[in-house]
A and B are shown apart, each in its own frame.
Chain A
Amino acid sequence: MTAQGKIAASFDAEKARADFTILSRQVYGKPLVYLDSGASAQKPDMVLDTMRDFATSEYANVHRGVHFLSAAATDRYEAARRTVQKFLGAASEEEIVFTKGGTEAINLVAYSHLMPVIQPGDEIVLSVMEHHSNIVPWHFLRERQGAVLRWVDVRDDGSLDIEALDAAIGPKTKLVAITHMSNVLGTIAPLKDIVARAHAKGALVLADGCQGAVHEKVDVHALDIDFYVITGHKLYGPTGIGALYAKKAHLKTMRPFNGGGEMIREVSKERITYADPPARFEAGTPPIIESVGLAAALDYLTGLDRAAVAAHEHDLLAYARQQVRQFNWLRVIGDAPGKGAILSFEADGMHAHDLATILDREGVAVRAGHHCAQVLMERFGVASTSRASFALYNNRSDVDALVAGLSKARGILG
C-alpha cells in the first residue's frame, strides 16, 4: 500500500493517538472508538497540560491590572490571538475577535454588521447544508427586518451547485453565508470561487469554518473572504472559545455587540466611546485560559504535517465508504467529490437513535439525529441520520469496529 506508506512517513496516527489519554479508556468494557469528532474533538494532553500550567503559573485577568500576573496573562492572551491570526492567514492580529464559539461569532456578524444596514427585501444567500448556527441568525434578520433568505440547493450527491449559487446572488444580496465544510455531508465549498463571484456582485461572504478549518488549511487573505468563523472545541481545543476573522475595514464600521467592561474607551453618565477592534467586540472577561488552550491546540495541529493528516483522514473515509458498500440496506448521504472525512447514512428499518444505541454498547460513539441541519434533512427527505466523523487520531480499526457494529445492529433490528 504505497498511499499508506507515504502517509506513515510524515504522519503517524498511532503515535498521535497516544497524545490523547481519553482514547485509551474503555466504555462498557470495550475500547472506545470515538467517531464523533465532528460534534466535538478530543483534546491532546498537551492542550490540557498547557492550560493547567498557565492557570497555575501565569493566570490573572487580562488588560486590567498593572501587576505581574496580569501582564503575563495579557501576553499569553494576545499571543493566542497571533496564533489564530497565523493559523487563518490573516494580515493583522487586529482582525481576530475572540468569541465563545462559532455560534457567537456568526451572531456577532449578524448583529453588528448586517442588522444596522439591512433593509426589507435585502437578501442573504445561504445553502441548504448550513448548520443551524449559520441559519438562525439570518432568520432573525428575516423575522425582524424583512430580509429575504435565498436558499441554494445541493445536488443529490451533496455537492454544491456553484452556478446555482452564482445565480442566487443578485443586486440586493448583502451577504453569502456558507459553510466551508458541511457537518453532515462533508461537502467542501469552493470558497475562493464563491468569494470572487460574490464580490463581483458587491456581496460579502461569511464562511462557517467550524468543520472546514479542522480539515483544510485556511488562508483568509488569499481567499479574500470577509468573515471566517472557527470554534475551539472542534479544533482539538477547549470549549468556550472561538474566533471571528473579519477584514479590518468591516470591523471598523461594525457596531458593538455585547456591552460591558473591556470594550469601551470612556464611559460617563452622558456618553460612551468605544475601544478599537478587536477589543470593541470582546466585552467582559474573555475566555482567558481557553485562549491559551486554543493556541496550544493550533500549535499541536500545525506541528503536524497537515497535508499528511488530511490524506490520513481521506484514507479512513475511503476505507469506510468501501466497507459499507457491502450493506445494501445502508444509504450514504453525501458523496461529493473531494469531501471531508464525514460519513452520514441512513439504514432501512433502523432509526438512527436505535443504531447509535447499539453501536454505543460496542464502544463506538457516533452522532445520531438531525445534526442541527434540519433544512438539509428535509432536502434529503430524512428525519435523522447517523454520522461517523473521522479525526486525525482515528484508524482503520475504528472503521472496522463501526462496520462490525453495523452488522450487529442489523442483526438485532433488521
Chain B
Amino acid sequence: MDNALRELYQEVILDHSRHPRHYGSMDNASHKAEGYNPLCGDKVTVYLQLDADGRVSDIKFEGKGCAISQASASMMVDMLKGRTAAEADRLMQGFLHLVKGEDASDLPEDDRERLEVMGGISAFPMRVKCATLAWHTYKNAVEEGAT
C-alpha cells in the first residue's frame, strides 16, 4: 500500500469507524444539529448537552458515511466531552488546520497527539469535507441548534 493511503486508513481510524464511540441519539439534548454532505449523501446528527456556561457535559452522534467521516465524528465526540466552550473552539480550529495540512501548533500537545492520526487526510483534498462534516455540525448545533 502506498504511504499516503497507509496514513489515511490508519488502524486507529478504521477502529473508530467500525466501533464509533458515543454513538446514538439523545432524548434530552439541549442542542442538536444535522449535517449533510450533498456530494456523497453522508449524514451525521450531533446531540449535545451544554451546561449554562457552555461546557459540553454530554455529546453523542449518529449517522452514516465513509470511514473518514465516521471516524472523525467518533474521535470528535470522544474528545469534546467535558470541554469548555473555549477549549472546544480551540480544538476545532486546530483540527481544521490539521486536516488541511496547516500549522496546528496552537493545539495543546496531548490533543495534537490524539488528532494527529487525522493529519493523513491533508494529502487527500477531495476527502477533507468528509473529516470536517461532524465538526461543522457540532458548531452548528452550538450556535443554532438549541432544542
Q: Which of A's residues lie within 8 Å of B, judged by CB?
A: 28, 349, 351-354, 357-358, 361, 368-370, 374, 377, 383-384, 408, 412-413
User: Could you say which of B1, B2, B130 contacts A353, with CB atoms under 8 Å apart?
Assistant: B130
Measured CA separation A357–B123 after assembly (Å): 11
* A–B Cβ pairs within 8 angstroms, 11 of them: A351-B65, A351-B66, A353-B40, A353-B66, A353-B127, A357-B124, A361-B4, A383-B41, A383-B43, A412-B9, A413-B9
Q: What's the dominant secondary structure at chain A's contact region?
A: helix
B61-93, CB under 8 A of A: which get 1 and which 0? 000111110000000000000000000000000
Measured CA separation A349–B66 after assembly (Å): 9
**Closest chain B residue, CB of each to CB of A370:** B41
Question: In the complex, what residues of A have CB within 8 A of residue B8's CB?
Answer: 357
Q: Given A354-B67, A357-B127, A369 and B41 touching (CB < 8 A)?
A: yes
Q: Given A353-B127, A357-B127, A412-B1, A369 and B40 touching (CB < 8 A)?
A: yes
Contacts between the two chains (Cβ within 8 Å), count: 50
Is A374 touching B4 in the complex (CB atoms < 8 A)? no
Question: In the complex, what residues of A have CB within 8 A of residue B43's CB?
Answer: 383
**Closest chain B residue, CB of each to CB of A358:** B5
Question: In the complex, what residues of B have CB within 8 A of residue A368's CB?
Answer: 40
Is B68 touching A354 in the complex (CB atoms < 8 A)? yes
Contact residues, B13-60 vs A (CB, 8 A)? 14, 18, 39-43
Is B41 touching A377 in the complex (CB atoms < 8 A)? yes
CB distance from A50 to the nearest CB of B (A): 32
Question: In the complex, what residues of B have CB within 8 A of residue A413's CB?
Answer: 9, 14, 67
Measured CA separation A358–B8 after assembly (Å): 10
Q: Given A354-B67, A413-B14, A413-B67, A383 and B4 touching (CB < 8 A)?
A: no
**Closest chain A residue, CB of each to CB of B2:** A361
Question: In the complex, what residues of A have CB within 8 A of residue B2's CB?
Answer: 28, 361
Is B68 touching A412 in the complex (CB atoms < 8 A)? no
User: Could you say which of B64, B67, B124, B127 contacts A383, with CB atoms under 8 Å apart?
Assistant: B64
Measured CA separation A361–B66 after assembly (Å): 17
Question: In the complex, what residues of B have CB within 8 A of residue A377's CB?
Answer: 41
Is B41 touching A354 in the complex (CB atoms < 8 A)? no
Measured CA separation A377–B130 after assembly (Å): 20
**Closest chain B residue, CB of each to CB of A411:** B1
Is B41 touching A408 in the complex (CB atoms < 8 A)? no
Question: In the complex, what residues of B have CB within 8 A of residue A351's CB?
Answer: 65-67
Question: In the complex, what residues of B have CB within 8 A of residue A349's CB?
Answer: 18
Contact residues, B100-132 vs A (CB, 8 A)? 124, 126-127, 130
Is B41 touching A361 in the complex (CB atoms < 8 A)? no
Question: In the complex, what residues of A have CB within 8 A of residue B66's CB?
Answer: 351-354
- Which one of B8, B18, B39, B40 has the greatest number of beta carbons of chain A within 10 Å? B40
**Closest chain A residue, CB of each to CB of B43:** A383
Question: In the complex, what residues of A have CB within 8 A of residue B130's CB?
Answer: 353
CB distance from B14 to the nearest CB of A (A): 7
CB distance from A183 to the nearest CB of B (A): 16
Measured CA separation A377–B68 after assembly (Å): 21
CB distance from B111 to the nearest CB of A (A): 26
User: Could you say which of B1, B39, B67 contacts A408, with CB atoms under 8 Å apart?
Assistant: B1
